Structure 1
Amino acid sequence: MEQSRALDEALKLLTGLDNDSTKRANIVEYVRENGRIAVFAYGSLIWNPCEHVEQIIPDCLLNGYIKGFICQDFIYRGTKDFTGLTMGLKPCEDCFVKGYMLMAGANKLISFIEAFIKRETPISVDGTKMDIYTYDFLPVIMSDGKTIEWALTCVVNSNSQFYLPMTLSIKQQAEIISQAYGINGTNFQYLHNTLHTYRRLSLIDTFTGEIEELYAAVLIYRKYLNKHERQWLESFEKLTTKDERELAIKLRKTNNIRMRQQKLFARAYSIEPTVSAKYNRMVSV
């Protein structure tokens, strides 16, 4: 009973479940009967799972949804000054998504969900919540093609200010992903790691053709970035800790501000002064 109450309280922290007591009750009952809880992973969670995962099952299938770079990211793979893109799911009747099932047993239920929440709903230093997802409990077909396991799933939050209701073209997405970066690395690294995991595990779904096309476009865009920009991004990708990346972002922002100030200063002093014509004062008689 105590664990059920704790689970219900944890689920209240998830957008979409916070004000749906019936759905939370169904999840709690499902977990009580099965002794485990699962998360359906389709993006970075498949190559960088959250903490307290006890079992990982690849090649699982979710019907009725499609992936897409339809969410803005201003923390992990972008900044407030230049937002990156991250994936979300949206309903699509004839579509399907391939991914992983991340599972935790009764002893790690709460810590697993708390780690999942912290990972997928980060808060920036100024207190802005990246509420790009709403959470649902959906039926996922396991790798045997028969067994169904219900799982917590990140679906795009269409009410979030960071949701992109208009689908960007491949060109527009590539332009953003080739340049954006955040505390977890560059947006390109996110795309690269995700796609290469799909390829390695042969995870083919409705989005496969588009993500392959997007990756090729990003490679071209990165190739034609100016030398300074490309070298900075490549150096940034070699940083190994979040602290190092945060410092690099801070320094770059400071340098950019200084450069803009210097340009304005130089421009101000490059303008030739205007000499006004002088007129003799007329003295009234």
Structure 2
Amino acid sequence: MRAEIRHVTEYRYQEPVWDSFNEVRLHPIRDERQNVLAFDISVTPDVPASSHRDYFGNLIHHVHVHERHTLLRIEARTLVVTYPSRVPAPAAVRSLDAHRDELTEYLIASPRIPHGRWADVFEVTAPLRDADLHGFLMDLTRALYRRFTYSPGATDVRTPLSTFAQTGRGVCQDYAHAMLGICRSLGIPARYVSGYIYAGANFVGAEASHAWVEAYLPGTGWVGYDPTNNTEVVEAHVKIGHGRDYGDVSPISGSYHGSTRGVLDVEVKVYDQEQ
């Protein structure tokens, strides 16, 4: 798929603020499944953006507005090509034993996925050691899709995973955190992915940044699963970056000086140029 993405974030303040520092994570990665053809970021007030790569290899842009302002507008435009995911090589659950030490950071607790018996909380039975790992992860993807209800506004970025387990309603980041908690409690290395999804493929989650999970499969590497849409990652998914949970790859985060609070408005559009 050849996709054009427009992501606009606006913060409006009742009173002027100043020294606004922001980290922007909107540049898609380049890997075997996708290639970035063009990327542009523009800021109002007009300031330059610098960049660096974080610990996970994600590209972060820095936006610093010194002057007083009542509007901060960040617009990112991207042109990206995505390709079909390769078919995972057969791997039994037991094959993970040789890889857990090197992938510890994706097995232990993180700020939004605290230590816990999440497989028990979500009533998931551990797979047999000879079971096919990819098959188990697809079954888990389907189970989470069927159990929970996609409900924008039911949760926010601060909602604990335990609350989502109780209410059964949430958005893509909740589905992703649930699958991460289950995988890690079962000894399956898994990481959080932030990105976009094309709505024309009859998927939900295209109205803003989307989220899914990548699990490690010996012999293949990291493989994507989207429990919000009951699917493996396909060409309609555009990956921005990955981390332990949402906090590592939030689209925009920052701080400013001033006594007023901002009103946030986000608009995301993903167009398939081949249609």
Q: What range is the shorter-chain TM-score in? A: under 0.3
Counting helix residues as a fraction of each chain, which structure ranks higher? 1
Q: Give the number of the structure whose alpha-carbon radius of gyration is greater.
A: 1
With structure 2 as the length reference, what TM-score do the two structures score?
0.23
Q: Which structure has the higher relative contact order (CA within 8 Å, separation 6+)?
A: 2
**Taking structure 1 as the reference length, what is the TM-score of the superposition?**
0.23
Task: Judging by fraction of residues, say which structure has more strand.
Answer: 2
